[in-house]
Each structure stands twice: as structure tokens, then as C-alpha cells.
Structure 1
Amino acid sequence: MRLNKLRHAKSKKDFPLFHLKCSLKMAKLKWKSGWPNLRKNLINVKPSKVKRSSANCANNMDRHNHVVFSLSKTHDLVSRICQKLKMPMGLITHNEFADGETYIRFEESVRNKDVFIFQSTCAPVNDSLMELLIAIDALKRGSAKSITAILPYYGYARQDRKTMGREPITSKLVADLLTTAGVSRVALTDIHSDQTQGFFNIPVDTLQTYHVFLTRTVELLGKKDLVVVSPDYGGVKRARLIATSLELPLAIIDKRRPAHNVAESINVLGEVANKNCLIVDDMIDTGGTVIAAAKLLREHHAKKVCVMATHGLFNGEAPQRFQKAFNEGLVDYLFVSNSIPQTKFDQCPQFQVIDLAPLFEEVLLCYANNSSISAIYTRHIEWIKKHV
């Protein structure tokens, strides 16, 4: 049985100091000086002049009543959050038995405390999900007052309906597993479809990240001649929300998908000639959809093409496809968040990782103070309209 203890600093000066053995199968991050490689591309785009309303969120959390934990897929993200909150991350002992079984023990009391636990159920999806379920069970048996599971990325979100006979609705199954494990509340980030909220019988918060991305994208492209583009009809609602927020025009890619993981873009609905196009999607898997969309926009004489997606999965040959798209001038910039650890692009200026730590910091403060989360988005959009 291999023991991996996460050690955290006791002062801000040497925060964060933790060690995760890379031999652990579920955490294949490359560590250097305590930080993953993604740090050099990480962009903190929180507008410094956006002030919290005192009526909305206080500036700190009560350490005696609240505790924040991270599992294997969100260590870097949560360490940044805790650094901003000026509170230590909770200690966890994580063991892996010889046969691959996972063992988790929380090294501090959670009795009668409000617990916030972070985990992205990304690859390996089943291991990440099982790790979260085991952790929730341990917290419940440790007499936690409440357990809020915050999933920056929610695996199985695309299996949200039956398209053929004898298919499962796995997204609903995962919701049932989390509820049965004992979670009190779930927070999901830019979920694939809104109906996922209805799969839970407990409170669900669906967090949005578009305002964090827009601060950076509008800064680079400007609002003049900027067009928001949906790569397919399924993403129209998301793209329209962004376009409406900043009073921008909207374009839609008319796409047909002949097979799984294969996309063919055939037409553009909207004016994109001599425009800066911002393709918006919730996730990038193999990259076929957005690269085909970018190629079509170039054929329609778009001036610039940028891609913005919350969750960068980059499976298969996706990194090579995007590198080729960068070299050929199809895509000017690719923006994703650190909802999933990003290690597949190294020293690539066109690839930029947007830090979600400021958003989650504000969300945690809203939870701790029973304040409105939606007010966060309103403040940021108003700031972007005035200053960017």
C-alpha cells in the first residue's frame, strides 16, 4: 500500500507546498517547483477593479465552520483558491492498494462542519468518479454538517438522453450515485445540457464561466467587428447568452455529423466576412467540430478566428490537429480553462489557459455567507462593458 500525503504550508510565504507522487496512476501531472507545467500558460483574468458588494459576499470564510478539500484532479486549482481565501487546504491521506483499490482518509475533523470538496471527473473518468464517491462517503461517516461537491468538469455529461434503443442515461446514473454517497449540494461548471440539473434530487448550482473568458478574449480582439459563433445548433443558447450580454452579433455553423467524433461543417448562418470570430463551445474533445468551423469561417473571409471552450479534453490527435491549425493560420487563439489539468500543449503562445480560481473563490464566499451567486456574473459583465 503506497502512501501519498498532501502537505500544505502554514503561512502565505511558502504556500502552496504539497507533494503528490507522480507514480500514482490517477495523477499524471508533471511537477516543477511545486506547480504543474500549465502555470506558464495560466492567465488570471479577474478584473482587479471589480469590487464585491458587501451585501453579496464577505471577504473571508470562517475556518472553524468551513473546510475545503481537493482530490487528485484539482490540486493546482484548489491551491490557488485557498491562497486567495488565505485559508489552508484540508489534509487528505490517499492510498492505492496493489490491486488498484482506492482508500481515502481525511486527516482533520469534519464533524459538524460545512465541507467543500473539489474534483473533476476527467480521464481516467471512472477512477476520478470513484475517488469522489469514496471521499463523500468518508465525509458523511465523519459527521460533516453538509457536503458540497464542486465539479469543475462533470464526466458523463454527454450521456444525458437515449438516442437509440437499449442505451443508458449515464449522466442520471452518476447523479444518483453522488446523491446516494451522501452529498448535500452539487456545483457543476458549464454543463453540457441544462437537463442535467433535473437528474439530481438535491440542490444543484450550474456555474457559468463566460464572463471570465470574455475579459481576456475581448481584450485581445476588441468589441468592434467581433462576432460570437456557435459551432452547431446545440450551442446556440450558450452563444446567444454571450452575444446578448455584450450586444454582439451572432453566427451559427450549420453542421452535420455523419458518425461519432466526426464533424462536417457545411454552411454559415450570419455575416462573418472581415469580422473577428469567437467560436464558443462548452468542451473540446477531439477538436473536429471547432477546427471544421474555423476552416469554414476562413473560407467565408473571417479576419480572425479564436476558439473559446471551458473544458479542454483534447483526446486522441486533438493536440496535433490544433497545432496544425495554428501553423496554417486557421485558428489565432485557443482559450480553455483549468477545469481539467492542461499538460498537452507546451510553449504554445496561441494556447491560453484561463484561471477559474477567482470565480470559485467568489462562489465559496457566497456559499459561506448564503449570498446570491448570480450577482457575480452581473458585476463582471457590467465591468467588461465599461472597461474592456
Structure 2
Amino acid sequence: MPTLNEPKLIAGNANQPLATAVARRMSMHRGMNVGLVDARIERFNDQEIFVEVYENVRGEDMFIIQPTSNPANDNLMELLIMADALRRSSAARITAVIPYFGYARQDRRAKARTPISAKLVANLIAEAGIERVLTMDLHAAQIQGFFDIPVDNLYAAPIFALDVAHHFKGRRDEVMVVSPDVGGVARARELAKRIGAPLAIVDKRREKAGEVAEMTVIGDVSGKACIIVDDICDTAGTLCKAAETLMEAGATEVHSYITHGVLSGPAVSRIEKSVMKSLVITDSIEPTEAVKNAPNIRIVPTAPMFAQAILNIWNGTSVSSLFEHETLTPIYEGMYAAD
């Protein structure tokens, strides 16, 4: 049932610009000011995290905006401690808005005597008093089953489809969507279906973690503008190598659409020097100055989608409606011309 109280947002330190943008979008939708709850999150000298909420949250529907990106452990602990502070302050419901869900790559036991850290993190989140999770492009969709609470997993594909339709207008027949590995075919197929493009795959074989020994293109990419689609770009080694492989196979140009721009270590310099014409990422992780200044990296906002998803959760209406082109286009009004 819809609640009478307005939704209230509180943000950790992981991505303050995104939290502010979400609040601004919600203010536009509600026709009233939706601000971030006043709180302080600080560290003692030994780096112990302390949270104090300055506003009354008793009986409120609270949404914590906090991706668990680098530093993953600090941001995760901030999320858990904020949730505990709100629960002990008698908040009616606590929803964790986690645009980037850290530890998602540890979703199975690939070798003996290794953890399934994604499940452990899911348990910690539920035990902290969080009753619902809102995230985007989980590394593996089955992570939703690790939680014993509802999980709404948004997808970047509808946003990317709008961006592709805008930037490749008039030459959509040249576009081919490419999955950088066999495991990401479902994600790439989703975008290909939305924009009506064919699909190719780059098959990679690793000798050991972090090293790509060999890459083979499955499909004819000659004369095509290739769009690589993936959920995470970390050091960008695989991505840049895939772009080179596609160009060698006859592609005219290569672009990449990646949901979560982790971009650690030498990633930005690799991308700047690569054959890729552009890398498009979302702001699920706060971009560094190096990322913002890179000439071939472009950032698309997720705030409109998250703001609407939060309002839908608060209202008790469908979140999956945001996956539809007709529903999403008005939310991004002004950003993309109608196609």
C-alpha cells in the first residue's frame, strides 16, 4: 500500500554527486523539495566509521544511496552502519540503493577453498536491517537469489539503447553489438534486440587471471561499427585487446558501452591510447578527474532512472516498467532526440 510519508534519501560518501542528482530529479517529479537527510559520516583516528543522523526519521521510508565501489570495504561498512543507525532510530522501512554492487564478481566457487563473498555481503546487508535492495546490472543475475529480501535489479541497456539511437542516427544499419566474452552474450543480446542490430562474440581464453592469451571473433564484423557491451570495466586490458581484435577483423570503428566504470590502475591511460573511438559508462561509480578529462570517455547519467525507481518503490508501483522504451524516454527528456 502507498505510504503517506514522503520518501527520504540519505547518502554515504561513495557517490555524493549521484545522490544529489537523484534528489534533484525526485524534486522535479514531486513538485517539492526532496533533499538529502542531514547526517555526518566520519572516521575516528583508527578509521572506525561513525554515523550520526541529525533529522527525525521515525516512521519514515528511508533510501540509502551508496555504491560499494572503491574503497569497497569502507563503503560497504558505511552502508551497514547507516542502516543500523536508521533501524535504531525507528525508520519504517530501509531500502539500500546500491548502483554498483561490489563483491558481485565473487558469486561462485571457481576453485577449491574459495569464498562466495557476494552471498556473505547479501547476508550482512539483510542482517543490518535493510529490507529491500535497488541496484543496477548485477554481474550475475542469480545474485538476486542470494538475498532473502526483495531485490530490484535495473538495467543500463535501455539507457544505452537511447544513447546509441541518438549517436548513430542515420547509420544504425552499420552497427553491430559485440559481447567481449561468451558469458556476456545475454547482456549484449538485450541491447542488440533493443536497437535491432546483429550480434558477434569475442571468444577469449585465459592462461591465468588478468591475462588474455588468445582472442577470436565469432561473427563477421567487416565494415561494421562495433559496440562492445559489458557490465564492468576494471583495468581495461581485455576491453582494449578486444577492440584491437575487432579492428583487425575488419571493423570500421569500435565503441564500448560499460555500465560500471571501475577503471582502476592503468585503465584510463590504456583507453586513451586504444583504438576505441569512445567508451561510454554510467555514473554508478563516481568518476575520477582522470576519467572526466579523458577525451574518449563519456558518462551517461543514471539519476533519472534511479529517481523514478525510488518513487515507484515508495508508491508500490512497478519497477520493471522502467525497462520499456516508452516509459524510459520521457524520463530522459531533453537528453536524446526522439528516434
TM-score, length-scaled by structure 2: 0.91
Q: Which of 281-290 and 369-378 deviates more?
A: 369-378
For 2:31, the equivalent position in structure 1 comes to: none
The structure 1 residue matched to 2:25, chosen from 84, 98, 101, is: 84
**1:231·1:293 contact (CA, 8 Å) conserved in 2?**
yes
Q: Distance in 1 between matches of 2:292 and 2:262?
A: 15
For 1:364, the equivalent position in structure 2 comes to: 310
Secondary structure in structure 2 of the residue aligned to 1:310: strand
Measured after TM superposition, the shift of residue 346 of structure 1 is 4.4
For 2:333, the equivalent position in structure 1 comes to: none
**2:160·2:191 contact (CA, 8 Å) conserved in 1?**
no
- Superposition map of 1:296-335 within 5 A: 296-325=245-274, 330-335=275-280
Q: Which runs of 5+ in 2 are unaligned?
A: 28-33, 331-335
For 1:190, the equivalent position in structure 2 comes to: 137
Measured after TM superposition, the shift of residue 265 of structure 1 is 4.4
In the alignment, does 2:216 pair up with 1:267?
yes
- Superposition map of 1:225-374 within 5 A: 225-325=174-274, 330-343=275-288, 344-374=290-320
Measured after TM superposition, the shift of residue 377 of structure 1 is 1.7
**2:166·2:337 contact (CA, 8 Å) conserved in 1?**
no
Secondary structure in structure 2 of the residue aligned to 1:174: helix
**1:122·1:154 contact (CA, 8 Å) conserved in 2?**
yes
Aligned residues: 324
CA deviations on 1:191-234 (whole Å, 9 max, x unpaired) are 00011011100111111111112222332223221111000011
Q: Which runs of 5+ in 1 are unaligned?
A: 1-57
Q: Distance in 1 between matches of 2:327 and 2:149?
A: 29
CA deviations on 1:274-294 (whole Å, 9 max, x unpaired) are 111100000101111111110
- Superposition map of 1:98-137 within 5 A: 98-137=45-84
**1:253·1:265 contact (CA, 8 Å) conserved in 2?**
no
Counting helix residues as a fraction of each chain, which structure ranks higher?
A: 2
Aligned residue identity for 2:295: P
Q: Distance in 2 between matches of 1:265 and 1:106?
A: 52
CA deviations on 1:58-79 (whole Å, 9 max, x unpaired) are 9xx96x4421111101210111
Q: Distance in 1 between matches of 2:225 and 2:286?
A: 29
Secondary structure in structure 2 of the residue aligned to 1:263: coil
The alignment yields a C-alpha RMSD, in angstroms, of 2.0
In the alignment, does 2:326 pair up with 1:376?
no
Q: Distance in 2 between matches of 1:347 and 1:96?
A: 30
Q: Distance in 2 between matches of 1:279 and 1:380?
A: 25
Q: Distance in 2 between matches of 1:387 and 1:270?
A: 31
**1:221·1:276 contact (CA, 8 Å) conserved in 2?**
no
Secondary structure in structure 1 of the residue aligned to 2:46: coil
Q: Distance in 2 between matches of 1:204 and 1:373?
A: 11
